[in-house]
Amino acid sequence: MIVQTIDLRKKFGRNVVLDGLNLEVTEGSVYGLLGQNGSGKSTTLKILLNLQRPKSGTARVLGKDSSLLTPEDFTQIGYVSENQDMPDWMTVDQFLRYLRPFYPAWDDGLLKQFDIPLDRKLKNLSRGMRMKVALASSLAYRPKLIVLDEPFSGLDALVRDELIASLLGATEGATVLISSHDLAEIETFASHIGYLEGGRLQFSEEMDSLAARFREVEITAPGRIPNARPDHWWNWEHSGDVVRFVESRFDPQRSPADVRTVIGDAGQIIFRPMPLRSIFVTLARLSRKAMA
C-alpha cells in the first residue's frame, strides 16, 4: 500500500477527530476521501505528511512511517491545499526557479500545459490561478503520490475543469489522494471513495461498486406500509400513495423481489441511479438521525 493508517487516533483537547482510523490507498488509484466538515479529512492528510502527529496509531506513506519521511521521500510526494502558502513577493517564474533545484526529476515541459503567467507576482494572481501554480509546482517533479486537500474550494466551474484536466494529464501512473467537497467533480475521475465519519472510515470501495449499489426507490400505490423494513432501506418517506427510500444494497434481481415481499403489490416501482452527491447527502442525513 502506498498509503496506510492503522488504528490512527487524534484529539484536539477533548474533541476526538480520529478514532481508530484504518485506511488503505492502493498504488495507482485516485482515492476520494469524503466526509462532513470536521470529520477529520484534513487532519488525516496532515498526519500522513508529518505535518501533525497522531495521539496513537500508525500512518505509513511510501512504505514507511510518516514520521520518518526524509527530504528525499518528499521529492516523491506532491501536496496542494486550499490555503496553500506561497511567497507572494515572488513572480511565478521566480517561485518555480526557486523550487527546481530541490527536485531532481523536475520537468519544465510539464508546466506548459498549465498556461500560467510567469512574469506576474503571486500576490496579484486570482485564486484560481494561484491554485494552478500550486498544482503545477507540485506536479512538475512527477511525484509518485499526490495529496490534495480541498483544491477546488471556491473556484468557478471553468477553473475547476481546467485544474482537473491538468491534474489528469500530468499524473499518469501516480497515486492521487484527494479530499474535496466538490462531489460532482470527484465523481468524474475518482477510482475509489472512502467516507469518513465519527473519526472512522465507514466504507471504502471502488467508485463503480459504490454507484452500483445505491438506488433511489419510488413506489406508487404500495400494497401495504410495513412497520418493519430491511436495515439497508434508508431515509424512508411515505406520502399519500407514494413511498420513497434509498436502497443501499441494490441488486437487479434481488431488490425488486424484496420490494414485492415487503410492500406487496404496487402500481409502479422505479429504481433510479444516484450521483455521488446524493449518496453523500443520504449518508449525512442518516448520521444526523443517529445522533439526534
pLDDT tens-digit readout, 20-77: 999 999 999 999 999 888 889 999 999 999 999 999 999 999 999 999 999 999 999 9
What is the spatial distance between Cα 277 and Cα 113, in angstroms, rounded to a whole number? 30
What is the spatial distance between Cα 77 and Cα 174, in angstroms, rounded to a whole number? 10
Query: What number of other Cβ atoms are within 10 A of residue 165's Cβ?
Result: 12
Largest distance between two CA atoms of the chain: 72
What is the spatial distance between Cα 176 and Cα 187, in angstroms, rounded to a whole number? 14
Amino acid at 106: W
Q: What is the pLDDT of residue 164?
A: 83
Q: What is the pLDDT of residue 291?
A: 57
Q: For residue 74, what are the CA distances in angstroms to 96, 99, 100, 117, 249?
A: 17, 13, 14, 26, 41
Amino acid at 48: L
Report helix, strand or coil for 37: coil
Domain 3-210: CATH superfamily is P-loop containing nucleotide triphosphate hydrolases (3.40.50.300)
Q: What is the pLDDT of residue 292?
A: 53
Amino acid at 231: D
Q: What is the pLDDT of residue 165?
A: 82
For the chain, give every residue range classified as CATH 3.40.50.300: 3-210
Q: What is the pLDDT of residue 266?
A: 76
Cell 527536485 locates to: 103
Q: What is the pLDDT of residue 225?
A: 85
Residues of the chain with pLDDT under 70: 289-292
Grid cell locating 140: 512538475
Q: What is the pLDDT of residue 54?
A: 94
CB-CB contact of 139 with 81 (8 Å)? no
Residues comprising the chain, all counted: 292
Q: How far is CA 230 from the centre of its chain?
A: 29
What is the spatial distance between Cα 112 and Cα 118, in angstroms, rounded to a whole number? 11
Report helix, strand or coil for 146: strand
Q: For residue 75, what are the CA distances in angstroms to 104, 146, 166, 262, 267?
A: 8, 11, 20, 57, 61
CB-CB contact of 22 with 5 (8 Å)? yes
Q: How many CA atoms lie within 13 A of 142 on its CB side?
A: 9
Q: Could you tell me which residues are beta bridge partners of residue 216?
A: 246, 272
pTM: 0.90
Phi (first) and psi of residue 183, to 5 degrees? -70, -35
- Looking at residue 91, the DSSP 8-state letter turns out to be B
Report helix, strand or coil for 26: coil
Q: How far is CA 198 from the centre of its chain?
A: 16
